[in-house]
Amino acid sequence: MDYGYSKRLQSFDVIVIGAGAAGLMCAMEAGKRGRRVVVLEHNAEPGRKILISGGGRCNFTNRECRPENYICSNPHFHKSALARYTESDFIALVEKHGIPYHHKTLGQLFCDRSARDIVDMLLGECASAEVDIVLGCRISEVRKSTEFVVETSRGPFSSQALVVACGGHSIPKIGATSFGYDLARQFGLQIAPTRPALVPLTWKAADATLWSDLAGIAAEAIVATDSQQFREKLLFTHRGLSGPAILQISSYWTPPVRVHIDLLPGAPIESVLEARGNRTLKNTLADFLPKRLAERWLEHQRLEDLHDWSVEPGGTEGYAKAEVTAGGVHPDELSSKTMESRKVAGLYFIGEVVDVTGHLGGYNFQWAWSSGWAAGQAV
């Protein structure tokens, strides 16, 4: 169909806003049920965030998705969708399409070749289900009378059901907008406050002076706040700390909370002292930590604090670097089974725009697939 500008109202059963992970999953499922579906996407290509995910290989799910791997204002909300469309369901789809993949670590599954395989798979499923995808489509207004009407640069579209799948604030340079949150507010829905998550943390000025030239050094660590801890790699950067352990804890961090870092997990200080023999402490510690970090530590910190380095981050690298946005459309506003608004019949929210944030490791895509699938069965 030609979607050059048309004044004529283009009528569908379902409009999905956003051709990302959740939107494409919802569209193909609704299309398979015989619904006439159109996806409106303002970028010139679909699935741009999928393409850059997982270092270009898309960590598309995790073999062990559990409700505890998600942060949500209601800790029960996401259970239903995740149980109805599971990681095994998505793996079966990937296998049906013959996409080669591998397990990396901690249950994380990645494409062998490229994230493009996942986008092509979703587009292939949408094409078989006769879903229309309109790219380069700028939306100027959404209103509801008996139906939803969406005014766009490609003319007006109308539908019985409107699915908002336009993601969060993260990475504006590839098309993230506040559109989903704005639309939720327009229809009177409550939003849990949003913040960057899975994001590097930055130093306060005094810490930057001490540590920033260690950029590039990595170490295994346990990183904790009062409520959570993660044992993974930590990475020093010019501006602060990153690496999987820090990204994970960042989702739980709000200022002025301190982050507690154990740089010697599993190695009590006594074992360092025992290993010392006649050597200098600096040389001994270098058996346990990268040498430059060991040296710097002993210049400025006490040995015994290696198990509890208490850091007060200056902030985060913000939405420009955040993998996801925490917060979003409040779970009290939505049916956990269908993702439909409790206040506005026919209005659905799926994926990252909803207040469900996964840990690092494929959990966020699984939420996109599961919530997209749930809405796809209902619209």
Q: Is residue 328 a contact partner of residue 353, using CB atoms and an 8 Å limit?
A: yes
Residues in 83-142 that interact with ligand FDA by CB under 6 A: 139
- The least CB distance from residue 85 to ligand FDA, in Å, is 14
Part in contact with ligand FDA (CB under 6 A); list of ranges 43-51, 66-74, 225-233, 291-299: 43-51
* CB 263 to ligand FDA: min, Å: 27
Q: Which is nearer to ligand FDA, 200 or 362 (CB)?
A: 362
Using CB under 6 A as the binding rule, the residues of this chain from 144 to 173 that contact ligand FDA are 165-167, 170-171
Integer Cα distance of 326 and 250 in angstroms: 10
Q: Does 59 bind ligand FDA (CB under 6 A)?
A: yes
Pair 33, 376: CB distance under 8 Å: yes
Which member of 12, 14, 54, 196 binds ligand FDA (CB under 6 A)? 54
Is the CB of 82 or the CB of 139 nearer to ligand FDA?
A: 139
Q: Give the number of other Cβ atoms within 10 Å of residue 66's Cβ.
A: 12
Q: Is 323 in the site for ligand FDA (CB under 6 A)?
A: yes
Q: Which of 66, 54, 69, 67 is nearest to 101 (CA)?
A: 54
Among 41, 132, 333, 355, binds ligand FDA (CB under 6 A): 41
In the block, tokens 């942060």 appear at 71
CB of 230 to ligand FDA, least distance (A): 16
Minimum CB distance to ligand FDA smaller for 41 or for 117: 41
* Least separation in angstroms between CB 362 and ligand FDA: 4
Give the C-alpha separation, 129 to 111, whole Å. 24
Q: Which of residues 165 and 264 has its CB atom nearest to ligand FDA in the complex?
A: 165
Among 133, 163, 219, 368, binds ligand FDA (CB under 6 A): 368
Determine which residue in the list 3, 31, 53, 159 makes contact with ligand FDA, applying CB under 6 A.
53
Looking at the Cβ atoms of 29 and 262, the one nearer to ligand FDA is 29
Among 16, 19, 247, 289, binds ligand FDA (CB under 6 A): 19
CB 345 within 8 A of CB 379: no
Residues in 173-232 that interact with ligand FDA by CB under 6 A: 175, 177, 179
CB of 55 to ligand FDA, least distance (A): 8
Would you give the distance in Å from CA 269 to the centre of its chain?
37
- Cα 18–22–27 angle (5° rounding)? 75
Residue 282 region, left (φ>0) first, then alpha (ψ -120 to 50), else beta? Answer: alpha
- CB-closest chain residue to ligand FDA: 20
**Min. distance of Cβ 188 from ligand FDA in angstroms?**
19
Which residue ranges make up the site for ligand FDA (CB under 6 A)? 17-23, 40-43, 48-49, 52-54, 58-59, 139, 165-167, 170-171, 175, 177, 179, 323-324, 351-352, 362-365, 368
